[in-house]
Chain A
Amino acid sequence: MVERIEDLNLPNAVIARLIKEALPDGANVSKEARAAIARAASVFTIFVTSSSTALAHKQNHKTITAKDIMQTLTELDFESFVPSLSQDLEVYRKVVKDKKDSKASKKDASGAADVSASGSGATEEAL
């Protein structure tokens, strides 16, 4: 849950890095401009959320899915994000699945609770 109001801001350092990566070398961003972009990003998040909530309601479901987000982005004129997002989502699904699979196989193998925390380091120690 949200404990402090700052928890609703996006982290400044990450925003700064994202901006820097997008701009050509040698370009800089003033503090005020960075704050404006950060605020715009927060507003964008809320905008996309409320639009996809509306979309989900219209289709009589309550849970917002990635598909709703994609559809919303298209409706809001951000369809240029969709191809890249679909790729990222595929990677995400794969990573989540791999994680699940490896967790399950590790559980079968040893049953130790700490394997997920330290990976192969733990197996070496065990040997």
Chain B
Amino acid sequence: MASEDIFQTEYSEEPELEVEQRMETEPLDAAEAEDETEDVNPTEDTTPPENAAAEKPVATKSAADHEPEAKLTQLPLGRVRNIMKLDPDMHVATHEAVFAVTKAVELFIASLARESYTYTAQSKKKTVQKRDVELAISAVDSLMFLDGAMNF
């Protein structure tokens, strides 16, 4: 019940996010680089947006159809496919299926972050701690599958 409320807030903002992201990526990355170690491999996610931005003035229209994946998902499709392939029973998955899983994982990360943050806010803090994530996992029914998979 409670979980649904939080999980539902997502999709209204998704489409604009994609558009905004193009413009925001560079300043955002610069800001991230300053504030902590999260940019261990910055090349990985700065390159595609830079390419897109570089192409844009030259060919506004055709830039859109060059690298669809780079624009539509933030997580790399190939990486998600590799994880999917860990399942020995999985034979073939269509590109669309991999895309759908990738998008679902992105939504999942956002919802888990938001869910965790409610516990952070409850204890009047600004920084999400591991404890908040664990509390979120044990509180939400649909996250039950994570119990026991998290301690390694």
Contact = CB atoms under 8 A, between A and B. Distances in A.
A68 B97 contact: yes
B72 A91 contact: yes
Nearest to B42: A13
Given A10-B79, A27-B120, A85-B100, A53 B90 contact: yes
A33 B79 contact: no
Interface string A21-61: 11110111111111111011111111111101110010000
Main secondary structure of the interface of B (DSSP, over half): helix
B102 to A, nearest CB: 9
Contacts of B104: 44, 48, 69, 73, 78, 81, 85
A8 to B, nearest CB: 6
B2 interface: no
Interface residues of A, number: 80
Given A13-B44, A45-B101, A64-B90, A18 B128 contact: no
A92 B73 CA distance: 10
B94 interface: yes
Nearest to A47: B145
B80 interface: yes
Most-contacted residue by chain B among A7, A26, A81 (CB, 10 A): A81
16 contacts: A12-B41, A18-B106, A27-B117, A31-B36, A39-B149, A41-B109, A43-B149, A53-B89, A54-B89, A65-B97, A66-B99, A66-B100, A69-B100, A87-B14, A96-B68, A99-B66
